[in-house]
């Protein structure tokens, strides 16, 4: 013979415990998902902090300075044909330093620090040359890694990248 189990309705307390356990589990899963998403790199190629393709070597004439806004940098092609990727941030207080074509130098609008084309300090209070980003040329295409700022005291020929 089969015995039937007694019909037992869950109490209100048991029902509320079950509901709180379900909501608590869902909140824990959601919090874990947010935490994992926070740890994942969110930089897409072409955004500041990642590797940026700037253009082709022939797009930049010798002796030119080109602002690359999404990279927060200037691509400098020196008169001898070499390239520098200069961070557009002043080494004094971090202001954005524009290139003054008429003067042929970078002039900080905050405290009038001035830098020559390769980024050397010509007029303090900036304590050192403008910082650089690593630049590579692959298949005649210029790529800049904006993920790491390379600090320097002054311009050095070894910093120049040639095509």
- What is the chain's pLDDT, residue by residue, as a tens digit (163 residues)? 556 666 677 788 888 888 999 999 999 999 998 888 877 766 556 667 778 899 999 999 999 999 999 889 999 999 999 999 999 999 999 999 999 999 999 999 999 999 999 999 999 999 999 999 999 999 999 999 998 899 999 999 999 999 8
Instruction: Classify residue 27 as exposed, middle or buried by CB count within 10 Å of its CB (0-12, 13-18, 19+).
Output: exposed
Whole-structure pTM value: 0.70
Alpha carbon 85 to chain centroid, angstroms: 13
How far, in Å, CA of 8 to CA of 11, rounded?
Answer: 9
């Amino acid at each position: 013979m089969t015995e039937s189990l007694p019909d037992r309705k869950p109490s209100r307390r048991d029902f509320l415990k079950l509901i709180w356990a379900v909501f608590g589990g869902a909140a824990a899963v959601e919090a874990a998902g947010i935490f994992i998403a926070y740890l994942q790199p969110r930089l897409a190629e072409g955004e500041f902090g990642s590797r940026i393709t700037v253009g082709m070597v022939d797009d930049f004439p010798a002796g030119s300075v080109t602002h690359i806004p999404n990279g927060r940098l200037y691509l400098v092609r020196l008169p001898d044909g070499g390239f520098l990727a200069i961070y557009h941030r002043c080494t004094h207080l971090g202001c954005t330093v524009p290139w003054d074509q008429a003067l042929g130098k970078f002039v900080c609008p905050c405290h009038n620090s001035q830098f020559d084309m390769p980024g050397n300090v010509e007029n303090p209070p900036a304590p050192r040359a403008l910082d650089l980003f690593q630049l590579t040329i692959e298949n005649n295409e210029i790529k800049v890694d904006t993920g790491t700022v390379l600090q320097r005291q002054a311009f050095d020929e070894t910093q120049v990248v040639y095509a």
